[in-house]
Structure 1
Amino acid sequence: MRTNINRFLFCLALSGAFLLGCKKWDDHNAITDPALNKNLSEQIKDDTNLSKFSELLVKSGYDKVLASSKTFTVYAPTNAALASLDPAIVSDTAKLNAFVANHIATQTYFTSAVTTPQRIQMLSGKYENLLNKTVDEATIVQADRYASNGVLQVVDKMLPVLSNAWDALQSNSAIPAAQKAYMLSLFRKVFDTKNAVQVGVDPTTGLPIYQPGTDSIVTNLFWRNVYDLRNEEKQYTLFVLTDAAWNSELNKFKPYCATVTNNPDSTTAFASWIVAKDLAIEGAYKVSAATDTVLSKFNVKVPVNKAAVVQTIKTSNGFIYVMDKVDVQPKDKIQPIVIEAENYSGTYVASGSANDAIDRRSNTYFRDRYNPVTNAYFRDVNIYNHGKAQLNILYRVNNVFSNVKYKAYWVALNDFNGGTTFSQKLAFGTPLANTFTLQNTNGYTTVPANVYDEVLVGETTLPAYQSVLNMYLTSANSTTAAANPLVCDYIRLVPQF
């Protein structure tokens, strides 16, 4: 009986505590912020310090947008911040709409929640940088004011609508002519099936047939291969050289870009690409007082000196710096080339002037090994007992420069041939060419047993720049298995300066 009474008293106490908690929660819910009864449009209208921005909302029609049930964050400039607003923006409907929309985001952003930098999209389609109580270059002077459909942030500066880096390159009168003309010359029509209309299938190849005109797009090679400077979500820094500085860099690199025919136009085109591709980096880089170095997408060291900055152009997605000097060194631009030997394009047999494709996949091995010299695992290619004299592997090597001495090295592990040495040849252009100054006769290099070290194969200087160069690894002129293997981990071409 006593146990039942105790249980009853415990349940009664628990029920009382529960009812007391519910009352406290009801009391909490009963506390309301009067601001929550007003939408963003009404809050801005009621704030005398925001009267100018309120007028712009009405004139543009965005007052109705901010009165809707959707959720927004508004970065409203004070009257003082709008005192210097260009009247041409107010009188132009399109410009006004873009300006106002650039102060409105479609989500709620509370300052306490943004503790790391964010790029937030505005109704204008542009993005702004947000961190704590700063948005772009403006400071939030009244933060996190609640409304029924979002949050109001009062800022001390306007958020102007800026051109992105690519649009600024095209339209800003401060951009020098030479580099601009080159970058605008890089538009090409390229094959692209993303939006193509398929009208059939080729009975011979089995490949789809597309409606003419739907299977290609016009794009820019800089967008595709370096950075798409139109992208508003990310930030970029573009260095644009004055015409004199551009020509100076071109002349520096033209000797390394000489073509087979010594065609001046081709040499200039190659050199222009070599210069331009490293003049953009990802991120909004701010030039410091001292000389600094940035790394391009292609790991080229680009020296940046504040004294060389002629003009700074702020864009919606970063900066453009007009420079009267960017002195990139050839040793930094022309870098070692590493070819992983297992990534070849095909196997062939050399016979006289012909080099015929042949399938030797059944004799090809991709081996995983451990290198005790480097303390690292690696994968190599080994073709063994293939039965062909002068079997060769084709590699396609990009951007091999003229008038540069290249030293060639390889790692070729002969741990499968019973201790017997064999020879193989590295050649440019054709599989039997004597490209390199090598250790043995006929351009072949001996591969001793169980050597894990990198071996110097030889050196060569090319008379002409090659955007794509055929390189071959060729077996001995023998059909004997022990004499004609091919094996390689990697090949490294190191420019000498």
Structure 2
Amino acid sequence: MKTIIHLSKYFIVSLLFLNIASCSDDDDNNMNPPEQEATITETATADAELSILTAALIKTGLDATLNEEGTYTVLAPTNEAFQAAGITSVDNISEEVLTNILLNHVFNETIMATDLSTMYKNTLATGPDDNAISMYINTENSVSFNGVAAPTTIDITASNGVIHKVDAVLTIPTIVDHATANPSFSMLVEALGRLGNTYTDLLSGTDGAPFTVFAPTNEAFENLLSMLGASSLDDIDDATLEAVLTYHVVAGANATSGTLSDGQMITTAQGEDVTIMTADGVKIMDSTDTPANVVAADVQAGNGVIHAIDKVLLPQTIVDAMNPTIAGFVAMNNDYSSLLAAVQKADLVETLNAEDAGLTVFAPNNEAFATFLSDNGFASLEEVPTDVLKQVLLNHVIEGEVMSGDLTTMYGNTMATNTDGDNLSLYINTESGVMLNGVSTVTTADVEVSNGVIHAVDAVIGLPTIVTFATADPNFSSLVGALTADGQPDFVSILSGTTDAPFTVFAPLNSAFEALSATPTGATLTAVLQHHVVAGANARSEDLTDGMMVSSLEGDNITIALPGTGDAIADLTDGAGNTDIGVVAVDVQATNGVIHAVNKVLIPDTTN
């Protein structure tokens, strides 16, 4: 019993001791409370470099706002910054103006210096229709705000946000201020400057405001120059430049993207309308029927709003006066946007822009390109190897201006080449319309441009093989029938491929097969057909010499005699010793070989 009483006393004493210790700790905490972080207002007030800012905050009542709980980022102009702006005292600035200027230095979120990137951010200042004013932040070389202010001291933390001291006052930006601040608009600023102060003053002021400006990027202007075959804006006369620029301006409207509707027509300062499309992102349609995509929307200024676009808009008056190059015509027509992208990827813009080019182009439309990509297993144009794409495009181009009335059933040469640099052939058939290589039909002919003529076609003209020409030319229909006869090797695959290529093929015309006393079959036909093919050689007419012997795929030699008799370009002696075989057409050039048409079927030596 005594033991129990003793322990109980010990337990009570311990509890009293702990209670006293706890009270002592509480007293210590009350005597030394943790330091509270100052608010933005308190931090600015305590900083001698920010006394003018502090006075401005007090005058507008924003000192109370920035003293409350919240998350703010303040770009704080130093006294030196205010003085550089001619402000030594805020007494003579109206409270309303001063408030909006100050709010243009404030974001409603905490943004540390490491969070900054090249972007637009909305400040707490407001412009037309009470829309938040945009701030352009550029971090490419060093940090700048609207192109006029740079941070001097960063990441001054406060209980309700962060302060970055800046070296200039950020007044409410105008349309011109925003265009000047963003280097992506430097060509637009240059164009405006070309016209003197008329338009820079207009877009910097309030007369006629608010403005909606569809602002072409530098890339858009560069594409226009390429289209016109111009090297710089200096090559565009002032009247044209003024008409184009005013076609991008809408006066009396602050048309943000949310207020635009599909099919809406807007009258520009130039006088003509543009049409808005919103079904697949916001697009602006001009008189060329090729829409411009809005790539950055709702850049809000104090006197209007900017939407960045990826194409220079062209009014009808300018289009009517223009005489575009081939590349320019393609760039101006929406149905050829895939062709334009292909030309740009293949670096052929300069070729199709040359003023003295004198070219004929067979132009596939977007649907034709989509089919071409699908048929060849490409998900997009980007997957097509550039060297292949370049040759495919050049296979649509003929040197010289050829109008549809000048076309006959014939072979011509395109600007595409094989690996030896020989120009590929193009088989043109005019028996029923105009068909090219048996795969592509002219749908619209004789579009004359400044440096050539364009014929629209409904299919991409792929790079031809030996089989392409044999199939396309009806004069070889008997040969194709023999090559694809039952029991024959897969000649189509062989002569379409690259194994054992290049091939030289002496191709008998239909009349040559008709002259045979009996049509060979089976193994005999196989030997006959193989006797017309020379593997491993692209022997063009200039490579043939008198007495030259070449070995056929069948194994027998073919002997060349120059010159040929009568109308023949050359005479051949086949394996059976027949000497009266005339070469009547030469140099039908494919990617994997060359065809020479002959007027008789070559017969191998049947005694072997």
Which band: TM-score by shorter chain? 0.3 to 0.5
Whose helix fraction is larger, Structure 1's or Structure 2's?
Answer: 2
Q: TM-score, normalised by structure 1?
A: 0.41
The structure, 1 or 2, with the larger RCO (C-alpha pairs under 8 Å, 6+ apart) is 1
Q: TM-score, normalised by structure 2?
A: 0.34
Greater Rg, structure 1 or structure 2?
Answer: 2
